[in-house]
A and B are shown apart, each in its own frame.
Chain A
Amino acid sequence: MNRTFLYESHLGLGSKFVNFSGWEMPIHYGSQINEHNSVRNSAGIFDVSHMNIFDFYGVEAKEFMRHVLTNDVNKIDDGSALYSVITNNEGGIIDDLIVYKFNNEKFRVVSNCSTFDDVNNFFESNIIKFDCEFRHKPSLGILAIQGPESEIALKNILKLELSNYKSFSFTERNKLFVSRTGYTGEDGFEVIGEPEELQNIWDLCISRSIPPIGLGARDTLRVEAGMNLNGTDMTIKNNPFESNLGWVVDFSDIERDFIAKEKLLEIKNTNKIKLVGVLLNEKGILRSGQKIIKDDFEGEVTSGTFSPYMKKSIGLARIPMDINENANVLIRNKLLNVKILSLPFIRKGKIMI
């Protein structure tokens, strides 16, 4: 099993571990619920070094990105980031990712841990036609410092003024890459760098009582934030439009040719399925795989959990467009009432429903 450079630190902090796609990662350090609420109310630090970093260099790096991503890097400036997906020729989602633009000839992509082979193959097979090369960077680690107090915490630790960096911008100083991005629905930062440097930042955070947060809370935070988890809320069998990600398919520049463009345009015009938020009005817990039923229409919960912040059960569900407002969910042979909601449930500590 793979371990990150912080494994010993996690062990020392009382982590319970889980096998996450071949990585032995912290699931929690005692209380998933407390960790979750620390991020919503103050700040917390995550080790997400299992995720994949790819760096792209070359005179056609921008053209390559415009070809392989559904979203268009033309709309961002140097020093900014963009959320996107990559799809196969049929418009099926291979992965979601964040792309960081240094300049027209240098980009960085951070993608999911479990999809390494598919993503690597995808870049490898598509890059041939471009004057561009890429490298996987497994030696680099990633920390996420998330929560309303993350700016002040990180500013003191990094001795770096962060207030100028708006959401989805980044900087690189002395080999330390700092971006204002995350997967929690809160303000926050992700820091990429060499293990020694990140170990230092981790230790400083812990010594300043910024709690470590496991993958358990990472999952409940992202569900509350209405963010998809690849492999759970979407797979290669799903297109972006039925995955609440139509907004990351950018057709605005008619000159731009990108993978599955025609197919995605066709899907956009014919799609009858949506990914929405569901809130259980009754006692119980929503779980992935449960059926959503209304009249003759059926859908399915893709992620379901207890929301530690709302203290109710919430989930994401893929359902026909015909289901609106209310529906039933089938839990252990009982039909219970769910509310159909637009996502997110929570943004920056505020309940949106």
Chain B
Amino acid sequence: MNETPSDLKFLDSHEWVKVDDNTVIVGISDHAQNELGEVVFVELPAIGDEFVSGDEAAVVESVKAASEVYTPLSGEVIEVNEALEESPELVNTSPYEDGWFFKLRVSDENLGSIDSLMTAKEYSSMLDGNS
């Protein structure tokens, strides 16, 4: 089981974000990858794509099902994790590190909405409430 890193913020749809100045990294939580099962395909956005928070930005597919990955913040895609094309299983083995999906450049104005996301602790207690 991967520990939930305390420096990440979470959506109730199980994406995580990590903020580094105006760059935001997005992935899916350990709980999400565990529920999905073995990931066999990831469809990533294109560099330069612009998203509004809540947009479907990527798709992650396990053997059994496809799930959308939503962007938690508005911004422009500046980098995607190309390693996932050859090794989608990184989403399972390293959801918070090597299994990241994409990076967004987010304006100062849009960065403000990060506060509305859940802390790791809040996310963990949401999961506990569900189980």
User: How many pairs of A and B residues are in contact by the CB < 8 Å rule?
Assistant: 38
Given A284-B43, A285-B66, A287-B66: A32 in contact with B37 (beta carbons within 8 A): yes
Which chain A residue shows the least CB distance to B56? Answer: A332
Interface membership of chain B positions 79-117, coded 1 if the CB is closer than 8 angstroms to chain A and 0 otherwise: 000000100000000000000000000000000000000
State whether B37 touches A306 (Cβ < 8 A): no
State whether A32 touches B43 (Cβ < 8 A): no
A27 to B59, CA, bound (A): 22
Which B residues are in CB contact (< 8 Å) with A284? 41, 43, 61
Which chain A residue shows the least CB distance to B61? Answer: A285
Which A residues are in CB contact (< 8 Å) with B85? 283
State whether A216 touches B59 (Cβ < 8 A): no
Assess whether A212 is interfacial by the CB under 8 Å rule: no
A120 to B38, CA, bound (A): 37
Which A residues are in CB contact (< 8 Å) with B43? 283-284, 332
Which of B38, B59, B61, B65 is the one whose CB lies under 8 Å from A31?
Answer: B38
State whether A306 touches B59 (Cβ < 8 A): no
Which B residues are in CB contact (< 8 Å) with A33? 38, 40, 63
A308 to B64, CA, bound (A): 11
Which B residues are in CB contact (< 8 Å) with A283? 41, 43, 85
For residues 1 through 42 of chain A, which have their beta carbon under 8 Å from a beta carbon of chain B?
A: 27-28, 31-33
A219 CB to nearest B CB, Å: 8
Which chain A residue shows the least CB distance to B37? Answer: A32
**Interface residues of A toward B: which range?**
10 to 19
Which B residues are in CB contact (< 8 Å) with A285? 40-41, 61, 66
Which A residues are in CB contact (< 8 Å) with B37? 27-28, 32, 216
- In this complex, which of B38, B63, B64, B85 has the most chain A Cβ atoms within 10 angstroms of its Cβ? B63
Which A residues are in CB contact (< 8 Å) with B66? 285, 287
Which A residues are in CB contact (< 8 Å) with B65? 287
A332 to B69, CA, bound (A): 14
Assess whether A302 is interfacial by the CB under 8 Å rule: no
Specify the main secondary structure of chain A where it touches its partner: mixed
State whether B41 touches A308 (Cβ < 8 A): no
A306 CB to nearest B CB, Å: 4
A20 to B114, CA, bound (A): 40
Assess whether A112 is interfacial by the CB under 8 Å rule: no
Which chain A residue shows the least CB distance to B85? Answer: A283
State whether B40 touches A332 (Cβ < 8 A): no
A285 to B40, CA, bound (A): 9
A27 to B64, CA, bound (A): 10
For residues 11 through 56 of chain B, which have their beta carbon under 8 Å from a beta carbon of chain A?
A: 37-38, 40-41, 43
A308 to B59, CA, bound (A): 19
Which chain B residue shows the least CB distance to A284? Answer: B41
A191 to B66, CA, bound (A): 35
Assess whether A104 is interfacial by the CB under 8 Å rule: no
Which B residues are in CB contact (< 8 Å) with A305? 63-64
Assess whether A220 is interfacial by the CB under 8 Å rule: yes
For residues 74 through 114 of chain A, which have their beta carbon under 8 Å from a beta carbon of chain B?
A: none
A149 to B17, CA, bound (A): 47
- In this complex, which of A32, A220, A285, A305 has the most chain B Cβ atoms within 10 angstroms of its Cβ? A285
Which chain A residue shows the least CB distance to B89? Answer: A33
Which chain A residue shows the least CB distance to B40? Answer: A306
B17 CB to nearest A CB, Å: 23
- In this complex, which of B37, B41, B65 has the most chain A Cβ atoms within 10 angstroms of its Cβ? B37
CB-defined A-B contacts under 8 Å, sample of 10: A27-B37, A32-B63, A33-B38, A33-B63, A216-B64, A283-B85, A285-B40, A285-B41, A287-B66, A308-B63
Given A28-B37, A31-B38, A306-B61, output 5 extra A-B contacts at Cβ < 8 Å.
Answer: A33-B63, A216-B37, A216-B64, A287-B65, A308-B63
